[in-house]
Amino acid sequence: MEQEKISLWQIFAVFAKIGAFTIGGGYAMIPIIQSELSRRGWISEEELPDIVALSQSAPGVMAVNISIFAGYRLRGLKGSIAATLGSITPSFLIILAIAMFFSAFKDNPWVERAFKGIRPAVIALILVPMVNMARKNNHTWWSWVLSGAALILVAFLGVSPIWILLVVMAAAFSITYIKEQKP
Amino acid sequence: MTDTLLLLLSLAGTFFVIGLFTFGGGYAMLSLIQTQVVTAHGWLTESAFTDIVAISQMTPGPIGINTATYVGYDVLSGATGSHLLGILGSATATLAISLPSFLVMLLIVRFYTRFRNNALFEGVMAGIRPTVVGLIAAAAVLLVISTSWTAGVPSFSIVKENITDWKSWLILGAAFAGARFARINPILLIILGAIAGILLW
């Protein structure tokens, strides 16, 4: 009866697929989110950096935060529960199986070799949505300054991303507010 | 029975607090989990925890969730010797670590949905978006290079777990080209990466 509405089951299934292939931290989820959700027209390209920024600003597991945010945008509270359960179910089952039956898993040479190949691929995959976002959003000199400063502060000076986001939010808020006051 | 119930409650409380107080994703979370689970509660030994982290990194899924699931299972099945209670423990830890996210993210996403077309909010997001570009670049760089500081002087080293030798760079370059220019699906590229790993090493 609700043809246009995305079903909760669909949300669960797509996020289970995303969760099953998120290897490493939350950032590894971004390329798969982009390909799975944009392809279906569930979120726009513009929304992706917003989802990342706001999920990074909240406490907890970033991948869970991203699921809650994206799920909510699709179907409200129910959507966010479906998305979160979806993205944690594959991990849950795999880890349980390992904990119960295959604790020797990490010493398996085949697994070890497969992961030697997966890790560099994941790094490359993180870079692709970054390039797309830069092309879309970095039109001014100051946007490149912000990108470069965030990169250097986090990667080389060990500053936590949350502080950077808070400072940028406060600064951008003040600048926009002052601009809005002018006639 | 009451002991098991108390342990479950204590596990839930501990992982709720961990979920509430870690910012910045899985890796930041690991040290807090370690402090709570190994040092404060003595539920697991240091070496058991190290093994769990290694397995959590090697398996699909967010690392914070993997670790919580594994620790929850080990703590409960270790204390009671029951697989079933182990499963209950892992479900408890996983849901407890995710619960604070729900409370905070639902506020954030409601705010976003309501104000996204507001000029002031749009101004803030215009500053945030290029920052996110830098944050993602940093996440990728940190997977390749680690920096350590001694007396104000930085020294850089390659992260050996991720980049073992030239073959790793080859896979990195090929995966980038495949995703960026040939637009190959990232899930397919991860599977191809696994196959390349098995063939090349």
Query: Is B186 close to A110, i.e. CB distance below 8 A?
Result: no
Give A145-157 pLDDT, tens digit per residue: 999 999 999 889 8
pLDDT of B146:
83
pLDDT of A2:
42
Give A34-49 pLDDT, tens digit per residue: 889 888 888 888 888 8
Reference B56, options A98, A83, A16, A86; nearest CA is: A98
In terms of CA atoms, which chain B residue is nearest residue A66?
Answer: B105
Cα separation, A172 vs B74, in Å, equals 46
pLDDT of A67:
93
Cα separation, A91 vs B93, in Å, equals 13
Residue of A59, A96, A126 with shortest CB distance to B87 = A96
Phi, psi of B95 (to 5 degrees): -70, -35
Residue of A24, A50, A115 with shortest CB distance to B112 = A50
Higher-scoring residue by pLDDT: B55, A172 = A172
Cα separation, B71 vs B33, in Å, equals 9
Question: Cα–Cα–Cα angle for B77, B82, B84, nearest 5°?
Answer: 95
Give A10-33 pLDDT, tens digit per residue: 999 999 999 998 887 678 888 888
CB A105 within 8 A of CB A98: yes
In terms of CA atoms, which chain B residue is nearest residue A85?
Answer: B95
Give every CB contact of residue B106 below 8 A, 6+ residues apart in sequence: A68, A72, A77, A80
State the virtual CA torsion across B179, B175, A24, B78 in degrees, nearest 10: 120
| Residue from B70, B106, B131 whose CB has the most chain A CBs within 10 Å, to mutate | B131
Residue of B59, B98, B131 with shortest CB distance to A94 = B59
CB B87 within 8 A of CB B73: yes
Two structure tokens written together for A166: 């808070």
CB pairs under 8 A between A and B: 397
CA atoms within 13 A on the CB side of A42: 25
Two structure tokens written together for B130: 């290029």
Reference B200, options B162, B166, B160; nearest CA is: B166
pLDDT of A90:
93
In terms of CA atoms, which chain B residue is nearest residue A177?
Answer: B120
Helix (H) or strand (E) holding B153: strand B153-158
Helical H segments across chain B, by residue range? 2-21, 26-34, 46-58, 63-80, 83-115, 119-144, 166-180, 186-200
Q: Kindly indicate the confidence band of residue A1, based on its pLDDT and cuts at 50, 70 and 90.
A: very low
Low-confidence ranges of chain B (pLDDT < 50): none
Q: Looking at the complex, does the CB of residue A93 fall below 8 Å from at least one CB of chain B?
A: no
Cα separation, A7 vs A74, in Å, equals 9
Query: Is A121 close to B172, i.e. CB distance below 8 A?
Result: yes
Helical H segments across chain A, by residue range? 8-20, 30-33, 39, 47-57, 62-101, 109-137, 141-155, 161-181
Query: Is B168 close to A165, i.e. CB distance below 8 A?
Result: no
Instruction: Read off the pLDDT of each residue in A63-92 and give the average, rounded to a whole number.
Output: 93
Instruction: Read off the pLDDT of each residue in A119-130 and give the average, rounded to a whole number.
Output: 88
pLDDT of B33:
87
Residue of A32, A120, A137 with shortest CB distance to B172 = A120
Distance of CA A62 to the CA centre of its chain: 7
Q: At what angle do helices B119-144 and A141-155 cross, to 10 degrees?
A: 40
Query: Is B86 close to A99, i.e. CB distance below 8 A?
Result: yes
Query: Is A58 close to B104, i.e. CB distance below 8 A?
Result: yes
Q: Looking at the complex, does the CB of residue A80 fall below 8 Å from at least one CB of chain B?
A: yes
Query: Is B26 close to A61, i.e. CB distance below 8 A?
Result: yes
ipTM of the complex: 0.85
Cα–Cα distance list, A137 to A27, A86, A165, B131, B133 (Å): 19, 30, 16, 10, 9
In terms of CA atoms, which chain B residue is nearest residue A144?
Answer: B130
pLDDT of B27:
64
Residue of B20, B65, B113 with shortest CB distance to A64 = B65
Residue ranges per structural domain of chain B: 2-107, 119-158, 166-200
